[in-house]
């Protein structure tokens, strides 16, 4: 099976939420799920809210990321979690 690169977008539920803390917890969850985070990006959304984009690689055989998404969605301060991109890694 191939490796896939997944972009996971995490939205905070308030501008007061510490995105660094969410990033740390989400990275640990992704690692426990069998993925490896390669890049983290913070994007301004509106009204002081920001989105945390985590780019990670995992084995395609793992299948759906639904369990991971649900786990992260239950973190304090997280409004929503969504996979915004999935690509097969080449090489």
pLDDT at 90 over 90: no
Among the listed residues 75, 81, 78, 33, the one whose alpha carbon sits nearest the alpha carbon of residue 57:
33
| Per-residue confidence (pLDDT) for residue 77, from 0 to 100 | 96
| Per-residue confidence (pLDDT) for residue 57, from 0 to 100 | 96
| Per-residue confidence (pLDDT) for residue 88, from 0 to 100 | 92
pLDDT at 1 over 80: no
**Parent domain of 48:** 3-88
User: pLDDT tens digit string along 32-89?
Assistant: 999 999 999 999 999 999 999 999 999 999 989 999 999 999 999 999 999 999 999 8
| Per-residue confidence (pLDDT) for residue 91, from 0 to 100 | 65
User: For the chain, what is the domain count?
Assistant: 1
Domain containing 13 — which CATH number?
A: 3.30.70.60
Would you put residue 34 in left (φ > 0), alpha (ψ -120 to 50) or beta?
Answer: left
Confidence of residue 7 (pLDDT cuts 50, 70, 90): very high
């Amino acid at each position: 099976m191939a490796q896939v690169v997944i972009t996971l977008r995490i939205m905070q539920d308030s501008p007061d939420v510490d995105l660094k803390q969410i990033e740390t917890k989400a990275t640990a969850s992704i690692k426990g799920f069998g993925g490896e985070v390669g890049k983290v990006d913070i994007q301004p959304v509106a009204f002081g809210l920001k989105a945390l984009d985590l780019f990670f690689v995992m084995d395609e055989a793992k299948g759906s990321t639904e369990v991971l998404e649900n786990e992260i969605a239950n973190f304090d301060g997280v409004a929503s979690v969504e996979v915004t991109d999935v690509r097969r890694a080449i090489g």
